[in-house]
Structure 1
Protein backbone atom coordinates (compact mmCIF):
# COMPACT_ATOMS: atom_id res chain seq x y z
CA UNK A 1 0.00 0.00 0.00
CA UNK A 2 1.43 3.32 -0.94
CA UNK A 3 0.14 6.81 -1.21
CA UNK A 4 -2.89 7.44 -3.36
CA UNK A 5 -2.71 10.44 -5.63
CA UNK A 6 -6.47 10.63 -5.75
CA UNK A 7 -9.44 8.45 -5.27
CA UNK A 8 -13.15 8.71 -5.06
CA UNK A 9 -15.43 6.40 -3.31
CA UNK A 10 -17.47 5.72 -0.31
CA UNK A 11 -14.97 6.14 2.48
CA UNK A 12 -17.59 6.84 5.10
CA UNK A 13 -20.70 4.82 5.62
CA UNK A 14 -22.50 2.66 8.10
CA UNK A 15 -20.11 1.00 10.45
CA UNK A 16 -20.52 -1.29 13.39
CA UNK A 17 -20.83 0.52 16.68
CA UNK A 18 -18.36 0.73 19.49
CA UNK A 19 -16.20 3.31 21.14
CA UNK A 20 -13.10 1.46 22.21
CA UNK A 21 -10.09 3.56 21.33
CA UNK A 22 -7.21 1.15 21.83
CA UNK A 23 -5.33 3.64 24.01
CA UNK A 24 -5.98 6.79 21.96
CA UNK A 25 -6.56 10.21 23.41
CA UNK A 26 -9.71 10.74 25.44
CA UNK A 27 -11.49 14.03 25.62
CA UNK A 28 -9.01 15.80 23.33
CA UNK A 29 -8.83 16.50 19.67
CA UNK A 30 -10.32 18.29 16.74
CA UNK A 31 -13.98 19.01 16.31
CA UNK A 32 -15.08 17.50 19.60
CA UNK A 33 -14.22 13.95 18.63
CA UNK A 34 -13.39 12.57 22.02
CA UNK A 35 -13.56 9.15 23.65
CA UNK A 36 -13.39 7.10 20.44
CA UNK A 37 -10.07 8.68 19.36
CA UNK A 38 -11.34 9.23 15.82
CA UNK A 39 -9.49 12.06 14.14
CA UNK A 40 -7.08 12.43 17.07
CA UNK A 41 -4.84 9.37 17.00
CA UNK A 42 -1.40 9.26 15.41
CA UNK A 43 -1.24 5.51 14.63
CA UNK A 44 -3.80 2.95 13.59
CA UNK A 45 -3.54 -0.85 13.46
CA UNK A 46 -5.57 -2.34 10.64
CA UNK A 47 -6.26 -5.32 8.43
CA UNK A 48 -7.64 -4.96 4.93
CA UNK A 49 -8.87 -6.80 1.89
CA UNK A 50 -7.88 -5.41 -1.52
CA UNK A 51 -9.47 -6.49 -4.78
CA UNK A 52 -9.05 -5.10 -8.27
CA UNK A 53 -12.69 -5.75 -9.19
CA UNK A 54 -15.69 -4.33 -7.38
CA UNK A 55 -17.60 -7.60 -7.77
CA UNK A 56 -14.94 -9.53 -5.86
CA UNK A 57 -14.79 -7.05 -2.94
CA UNK A 58 -18.59 -7.16 -2.79
CA UNK A 59 -18.42 -10.98 -2.49
CA UNK A 60 -15.98 -10.66 0.40
CA UNK A 61 -18.17 -8.04 2.09
CA UNK A 62 -21.25 -10.23 1.65
CA UNK A 63 -19.40 -13.06 3.41
CA UNK A 64 -18.61 -10.69 6.29
CA UNK A 65 -22.23 -9.50 6.35
CA UNK A 66 -23.66 -13.01 6.32
CA UNK A 67 -21.41 -14.11 9.16
CA UNK A 68 -21.45 -11.09 11.46
CA UNK A 69 -22.38 -7.68 10.17
CA UNK A 70 -26.03 -8.44 9.38
CA UNK A 71 -26.52 -9.27 13.08
CA UNK A 72 -24.79 -6.06 14.16
CA UNK A 73 -21.80 -8.05 15.41
CA UNK A 74 -18.18 -7.07 14.97
CA UNK A 75 -16.05 -9.35 12.81
CA UNK A 76 -13.40 -11.10 14.93
CA UNK A 77 -9.89 -10.37 13.57
CA UNK A 78 -9.22 -14.11 13.07
CA UNK A 79 -12.34 -14.46 10.92
CA UNK A 80 -11.54 -11.28 8.95
CA UNK A 81 -8.06 -12.76 8.38
CA UNK A 82 -9.56 -15.93 6.86
CA UNK A 83 -11.62 -13.90 4.39
CA UNK A 84 -8.62 -11.66 3.60
CA UNK A 85 -6.50 -14.74 2.89
CA UNK A 86 -9.21 -16.02 0.55
CA UNK A 87 -10.10 -12.80 -1.30
CA UNK A 88 -7.35 -10.19 -0.98
CA UNK A 89 -5.07 -9.59 -3.94
CA UNK A 90 -2.58 -7.64 -1.81
CA UNK A 91 0.56 -9.43 -0.56
CA UNK A 92 -0.74 -8.73 2.98
CA UNK A 93 -3.56 -11.18 2.22
CA UNK A 94 -1.18 -14.03 3.03
CA UNK A 95 -0.92 -12.53 6.54
CA UNK A 96 -4.68 -12.19 6.91
CA UNK A 97 -4.60 -8.66 5.55
CA UNK A 98 -2.51 -7.47 8.51
CA UNK A 99 -0.95 -4.06 7.87
CA UNK A 100 0.27 -3.66 11.44
CA UNK A 101 0.60 -0.19 12.96
CA UNK A 102 1.05 2.72 10.58
CA UNK A 103 1.26 6.47 11.17
CA UNK A 104 -0.98 9.18 9.84
CA UNK A 105 0.55 10.32 6.55
CA UNK A 106 1.87 6.92 5.41
CA UNK A 107 -1.31 6.03 3.54
CA UNK A 108 -2.96 8.75 1.53
CA UNK A 109 -6.32 9.47 0.05
CA UNK A 110 -9.40 7.51 0.95
CA UNK A 111 -7.45 4.63 2.51
CA UNK A 112 -6.03 6.84 5.26
CA UNK A 113 -9.34 8.62 5.75
CA UNK A 114 -11.24 5.37 6.24
CA UNK A 115 -8.54 3.71 8.37
CA UNK A 116 -8.34 6.65 10.79
CA UNK A 117 -12.12 7.14 10.93
CA UNK A 118 -13.26 3.55 11.44
CA UNK A 119 -14.07 2.74 15.05
CA UNK A 120 -11.79 0.12 16.64
CA UNK A 121 -13.33 -3.30 16.09
CA UNK A 122 -15.51 -2.08 13.25
CA UNK A 123 -15.32 -3.04 9.58
CA UNK A 124 -15.61 -0.38 6.89
CA UNK A 125 -17.95 -0.80 3.95
CA UNK A 126 -16.18 -1.37 0.62
CA UNK A 127 -14.57 1.74 -0.85
CA UNK A 128 -12.40 2.61 -3.86
CA UNK A 129 -8.86 3.97 -4.01
CA UNK A 130 -6.40 4.21 -6.88
CA UNK A 131 -5.20 0.70 -5.91
CA UNK A 132 -8.61 -0.95 -6.19
CA UNK A 133 -11.42 -1.74 -3.77
CA UNK A 134 -10.85 -2.18 -0.04
CA UNK A 135 -12.50 -3.24 3.19
CA UNK A 136 -10.73 -2.24 6.42
CA UNK A 137 -10.95 -3.73 9.90
CA UNK A 138 -9.62 -1.24 12.47
CA UNK A 139 -7.86 -3.14 15.28
CA UNK A 140 -6.37 -0.35 17.37
CA UNK A 141 -5.29 3.25 17.63
CA UNK A 142 -2.69 5.09 19.66
CA UNK A 143 -0.79 8.37 19.85
Structure 2
Protein backbone atom coordinates (compact mmCIF):
# COMPACT_ATOMS: atom_id res chain seq x y z
CA UNK A 1 0.00 0.00 0.00
CA UNK A 2 2.25 2.86 1.17
CA UNK A 3 5.42 1.01 0.23
CA UNK A 4 6.16 3.11 -2.84
CA UNK A 5 5.11 6.50 -1.54
CA UNK A 6 5.87 9.05 -4.20
CA UNK A 7 4.85 12.71 -4.06
CA UNK A 8 1.66 12.23 -6.11
CA UNK A 9 -0.79 9.55 -4.95
CA UNK A 10 0.57 7.11 -2.45
CA UNK A 11 -1.52 4.03 -2.26
CA UNK A 12 -3.85 2.22 -4.56
CA UNK A 13 -2.88 3.70 -7.95
CA UNK A 14 -6.03 5.64 -8.82
CA UNK A 15 -4.18 8.81 -9.77
CA UNK A 16 -2.13 9.75 -12.76
CA UNK A 17 1.00 8.31 -11.16
CA UNK A 18 -0.23 4.75 -11.80
CA UNK A 19 -2.04 5.43 -15.06
CA UNK A 20 -0.34 2.42 -16.69
CA UNK A 21 -2.53 0.10 -14.60
CA UNK A 22 -5.26 0.46 -17.19
CA UNK A 23 -4.92 -1.03 -20.63
CA UNK A 24 -7.55 1.14 -22.30
CA UNK A 25 -5.03 3.67 -23.61
CA UNK A 26 -5.94 6.27 -21.00
CA UNK A 27 -2.37 6.41 -19.76
CA UNK A 28 -1.06 8.03 -22.94
CA UNK A 29 0.51 11.34 -22.11
CA UNK A 30 -0.44 11.35 -18.44
CA UNK A 31 1.62 11.73 -15.35
CA UNK A 32 4.93 9.86 -15.34
CA UNK A 33 7.66 12.40 -14.78
CA UNK A 34 10.66 12.17 -17.05
CA UNK A 35 9.34 10.41 -20.16
CA UNK A 36 6.67 11.79 -22.43
CA UNK A 37 3.64 9.63 -23.27
CA UNK A 38 4.61 7.14 -20.53
CA UNK A 39 6.45 5.08 -23.14
CA UNK A 40 9.14 2.92 -21.64
CA UNK A 41 7.85 3.35 -18.09
CA UNK A 42 5.43 0.42 -17.88
CA UNK A 43 6.25 -3.01 -16.53
CA UNK A 44 4.13 -5.14 -18.89
CA UNK A 45 3.09 -4.84 -22.51
CA UNK A 46 0.51 -6.78 -24.52
CA UNK A 47 1.51 -7.29 -28.13
CA UNK A 48 1.02 -9.18 -31.37
CA UNK A 49 3.79 -9.68 -33.89
CA UNK A 50 4.64 -11.00 -37.29
CA UNK A 51 7.99 -12.77 -37.63
CA UNK A 52 9.61 -13.60 -40.96
CA UNK A 53 13.04 -14.99 -41.76
CA UNK A 54 13.35 -12.94 -44.96
CA UNK A 55 13.22 -9.16 -45.11
CA UNK A 56 11.27 -9.25 -48.38
CA UNK A 57 8.43 -11.20 -46.77
CA UNK A 58 8.11 -8.84 -43.77
CA UNK A 59 8.17 -5.86 -46.13
CA UNK A 60 5.32 -7.44 -48.11
CA UNK A 61 3.27 -7.84 -44.92
CA UNK A 62 4.05 -4.26 -43.90
CA UNK A 63 3.00 -2.98 -47.33
CA UNK A 64 -0.40 -4.63 -46.83
CA UNK A 65 -0.70 -2.85 -43.47
CA UNK A 66 0.26 0.44 -45.12
CA UNK A 67 -2.13 0.02 -48.03
CA UNK A 68 -5.00 -0.98 -45.77
CA UNK A 69 -4.63 1.41 -42.83
CA UNK A 70 -1.33 3.13 -42.15
CA UNK A 71 -1.30 5.38 -45.22
CA UNK A 72 -4.83 6.49 -44.33
CA UNK A 73 -3.70 7.58 -40.87
CA UNK A 74 -5.71 4.82 -39.21
CA UNK A 75 -4.58 2.29 -36.63
CA UNK A 76 -4.60 -1.35 -37.68
CA UNK A 77 -7.46 -3.24 -35.98
CA UNK A 78 -6.11 -6.20 -33.95
CA UNK A 79 -8.35 -8.63 -35.87
CA UNK A 80 -6.89 -7.47 -39.20
CA UNK A 81 -3.33 -7.63 -37.85
CA UNK A 82 -4.13 -11.17 -36.64
CA UNK A 83 -5.18 -12.19 -40.17
CA UNK A 84 -1.87 -10.96 -41.59
CA UNK A 85 0.05 -12.68 -38.79
CA UNK A 86 -1.70 -15.96 -39.59
CA UNK A 87 -0.82 -15.51 -43.26
CA UNK A 88 2.78 -14.24 -42.99
CA UNK A 89 4.28 -15.07 -39.60
CA UNK A 90 6.73 -17.94 -39.35
CA UNK A 91 6.44 -17.97 -35.56
CA UNK A 92 4.17 -20.48 -33.83
CA UNK A 93 2.24 -17.49 -32.44
CA UNK A 94 1.07 -16.82 -36.02
CA UNK A 95 -1.60 -19.49 -35.54
CA UNK A 96 -2.98 -17.31 -32.72
CA UNK A 97 -2.89 -14.15 -34.81
CA UNK A 98 0.59 -13.31 -33.56
CA UNK A 99 -0.73 -12.88 -30.02
CA UNK A 100 2.07 -12.87 -27.44
CA UNK A 101 -0.23 -11.89 -24.58
CA UNK A 102 1.15 -9.86 -21.67
CA UNK A 103 4.88 -10.09 -21.04
CA UNK A 104 7.13 -8.33 -18.53
CA UNK A 105 10.08 -6.11 -19.22
CA UNK A 106 13.17 -8.32 -19.40
CA UNK A 107 11.47 -11.37 -20.94
CA UNK A 108 12.10 -10.52 -24.59
CA UNK A 109 15.56 -9.93 -26.01
CA UNK A 110 17.16 -6.68 -27.14
CA UNK A 111 15.53 -4.90 -30.06
CA UNK A 112 12.24 -6.78 -29.70
CA UNK A 113 11.78 -5.54 -26.15
CA UNK A 114 12.90 -2.02 -27.07
CA UNK A 115 10.34 -1.77 -29.88
CA UNK A 116 7.52 -3.48 -27.95
CA UNK A 117 7.89 -1.16 -24.96
CA UNK A 118 8.27 1.99 -27.06
CA UNK A 119 5.40 1.47 -29.51
CA UNK A 120 2.29 3.48 -28.65
CA UNK A 121 -0.85 1.53 -27.71
CA UNK A 122 -2.79 0.72 -30.86
CA UNK A 123 0.17 1.52 -33.10
CA UNK A 124 2.18 -0.78 -35.34
CA UNK A 125 5.97 -0.68 -35.49
CA UNK A 126 7.91 -0.42 -38.70
CA UNK A 127 9.69 -3.66 -39.66
CA UNK A 128 12.88 -4.28 -37.67
CA UNK A 129 15.50 -6.99 -37.32
CA UNK A 130 16.30 -9.12 -34.27
CA UNK A 131 18.36 -12.27 -33.81
CA UNK A 132 15.24 -14.30 -34.72
CA UNK A 133 14.48 -12.52 -38.00
CA UNK A 134 12.33 -9.57 -39.06
CA UNK A 135 9.34 -8.40 -37.02
CA UNK A 136 6.38 -6.05 -37.01
CA UNK A 137 4.76 -5.42 -33.62
CA UNK A 138 1.25 -4.24 -32.78
CA UNK A 139 1.10 -2.88 -29.20
CA UNK A 140 -2.28 -3.64 -27.63
CA UNK A 141 -1.78 -2.47 -24.05
CA UNK A 142 0.46 -1.48 -21.15
CA UNK A 143 0.28 -1.92 -17.40
CA UNK A 144 2.45 -1.77 -14.32
TM-score range, shorter chain: 0.7 to 0.9
- The root-mean-square deviation of aligned C-alpha atoms, in Å, is 1.6
Corresponding residue SS for 2:38: coil
**May I ask how many residue pairs the two structures share in their alignment?**
121
- Structure having greater relative contact order (Cα 8 Å, sep ≥ 6): 1
Counterpart in the other structure of 2:40: 39
Q: What is the TM-score of this pair, normalised by structure 1? A: 0.80
Deviation of 1:26 after TM superposition, in Å, equals 3.6
Q: Structure 1: any 5+ residue segments left out of the alignment?
A: 1-19
The 3 A distance-change label for structure 1 pair 84 and 57 is same
- 8 Å contact kept, 1:25–1:40: no
The aligned runs of 1:73-88 (5 Å cut-off) are 73-88=74-89
The 3 A distance-change label for structure 1 pair 131 and 76 is same
* Greater gyration radius: 2
**What's the CA shift string for 1:11-48, capped at 9, x where partnerless?**
xxxxxxxxx7465894125xx224x3201100000000
Distance 1:141 1:134 in 2: 19
Corresponding residue SS for 1:106: coil
Q: What is the TM-score of this pair, normalised by structure 2? A: 0.79
The 3 A distance-change label for structure 1 pair 22 and 88 is farther
